[in-house]
Amino acid sequence: MALLTRKRVIAVLKESTAGTYNAPQAANCLLVRDLSITPQESDVVSRDLVRPYFGASEQLQANTRVSCTFSVEMAGVGAGIDADLAPNYGECIEACGFTGESTDDAKHLFIPNSTVATTVSILYNIDGVQHTVKGAKGSFSITCGVGEIPTIDFTFTGVYIAPSDATALTPSYNKQADPVLFDNGNTTNFKIFGETGLQMSSFSLDIGNEVVYRELVGGSPEVLITNRNITGSVTVEAVNLASGGSQQWNPFAAALADGTLGEISFTHGTTTLNKVTIQSGLVASQTTKDRCDLGAISYGEEDGIAMWEVPYTMIPTTAGNDELSLIFE
């Protein structure tokens, strides 16, 4: 019988023991978009035999693993919260090398973690054919554009488990609030290198994890995160370099000021339990917020208006693991 692509479910659950499958349940189902799975991803090893005739040689598949990509709408927990205010996809963020913790001021904070102990199990069911993945880790990016729904885009690699026929979970979607558009009314407190009067049309951020799959003799298959390099870009409306008033900034000088870091931050959403703040550095002090190093500025164009494309890299302090904060409240 044909499998219907509209009838798909994905669920993700943190593993109690790294690499041991922990079966996700109905409460762990995620509302996602752009869902894709590569159920068998392998390194192909060809025998490349020399023979007195044309023709291919047999191939062997090594390091068979599973990769999975999906996007969630960047929103808070909404109704049905628990004490930590973490969204239902919070364990996905943790499996990308972050630590999640509740704060005393009714917020849930995610910050980078170089130990990267968290792994997740993933269940993917397509109309009765079920793929399960264990020991998964990954990376994510954030995409925001004016008039669009901001998304967090995940890519995971995990250890292969043979698929089987199984009845799909009946999802009880929770802790994923309805999203709001990225626009002037819903997105506030935009700051870039001390400037608060500039107009932003888009924002992107890529965690840039290096994710590797290893399967060595004498060991167990595992997925490791071996490095992190957070980069991104902000697009703002270009203004005179010294126009006065609230719109005054020289990004070219800021980009060439070697060793000078600055802050990039904004809050998306205006309703309690559905606000997400992206903050360079940590919120403790201005020094720890100034963690962005600008790249070469370029021009773009939108609706006949000149725009500045401002690339950045987030740099940790000597303490480490403090170049970015994601705050849900």
Which pLDDT tens digit goes with each residue over 211-238? Answer: 999 999 999 999 999 999 999 999 999 9
Q: What is the pLDDT of residue 168?
A: 96
| Eight-class DSSP state of 262 | B
Domain boundaries, the chain: 8-42+64-328
- For residue 241, is pLDDT > 80? yes
Is the CB of residue 161 less than 8 Å from the CB of residue 21?
yes
Task: Measure Cα distances from 109 to 72, 187, 212, 300 in Å.
Answer: 18, 19, 26, 34
User: Of the spans 79-88, 109-118, 223-232, 243-252, which averages the highest pLDDT?
Assistant: 223-232
Q: pLDDT for 278-292, tens place per residue?
A: 999 998 766 689 999
End-to-end CA distance of the chain: 46
Q: Distance between CA atoms of 87 and 70, rounded to whole angstroms?
A: 16
- For residue 80, is pLDDT > 80? no
- For residue 245, is pLDDT > 60? no
Give the chain's mean pLDDT: 94
Q: What is the pLDDT of residue 248?
A: 73
Q: What is the pLDDT of residue 82?
A: 56
- For residue 101, is pLDDT > 70? yes
Q: pLDDT for 289-313, tens place per residue?
A: 999 999 999 999 999 999 999 999 9
Q: pLDDT for 125-147, tens place per residue?
A: 999 999 999 999 999 999 999 99
Is the CB of residue 279 less than 8 Å from the CB of residue 327?
yes
